[in-house]
Structure 1
Amino acid sequence: MRVIAKRSLCQFWEQVGYEDSQTPLELWYHDVIKATWTTPHDVKQYAGNASICGSNRVVFNIGGNKYRLVVEIQYQASIVWVKFIGTHTQYDKIDVETVNEY
C-alpha cells in the first residue's frame, strides 16, 4: 500500500508530548507499505482491533491504544490516506467519517 503521507506521522511524533508514538507509528507504517489490502477483511486480518467505519475509513489503535490513527483507504488504488492522529480524548471530539486534519 502507498501511505499518504508519512510526513504527517512524523509531524505528530515530533510534537512535545507525543514522542512515544514514534516507534508504534513507524511499525504501523512499515507494515502497511508491505501490505496488499483489497478489502476491509484484509485490514481486519492485519489488525483485528481496527474499526472499519463508513467512507472507507479505518481507525487503528496505536501504542497500546494510547493513540488513534484514522485513515481512508482506496483499496483499488492501494492508497492509505492519513486523516487524523491523536489521543483518545482528541479522537472522541472528531467525526471519523469527515475528519481531514492531514
Structure 2
Amino acid sequence: MSHETPGNFSQMKALFPAVDLVGRFHVFDIGGNKIRLIAGVSYSTQQVYIKYVLSHAEYHKDKWKD
C-alpha cells in the first residue's frame, strides 16, 4: 500500500475519481454513490475538515450550501 499526499485538487481527483469541487468544498461520492461526504481540504497542512455526510437525496436539496 502506498501513502499519497495530494498537493492540489487535480492530484486529489487522480487519487479519488469520485470527488468534485463545489465552491470551496470537496464533495466525495461514497457508499456506492448513495452518500456524499462534503469537506474542506487544506493541502498545505494535509488536513480534511468534514462538514457534512449526507444521503444522495439530502445532498440534492442544496441546503448544505447555506
TM-score for the superposition, normalised by structure 2 = 0.81
Q: Deviating runs (4+, > 6 A) in structure 1? A: none
Instruction: Pick 1 or 2: higher relative contact order, CA cutoff 8 A, min separation 6.
Output: 1
Structure 1: runs of 5 or more not aligned? 1-33
Higher strand share: 2
Residue among 64, 81, 86 paired with 2:54: 86
Partner SS, residue 89 of structure 1: helix
Structure 2: runs of 5 or more not aligned? none
Q: C-alpha separation between the residues in 2 aligned to 1:88 and 1:35?
A: 28
Partner SS, residue 43 of structure 1: helix
Q: Residue type of the partner of 1:50? A: V
Q: Give % identity.
A: 28
Change (3 A) 1:69 1:39: same
Q: C-alpha separation between the residues in 2 aligned to 1:64 and 1:38?
A: 26
Name the residue aligned to 1:39. Answer: 8
Higher helix share: 1
> Are 2:18 and 1:72 aligned?
no
CA RMSD for the aligned pairs? Answer: 1.8
Q: C-alpha separation between the residues in 1 aligned to 2:15 and 2:21?
A: 12
Residue among 55, 59, 62 paired with 2:30: 62
TM-score for the superposition, normalised by structure 1 = 0.55
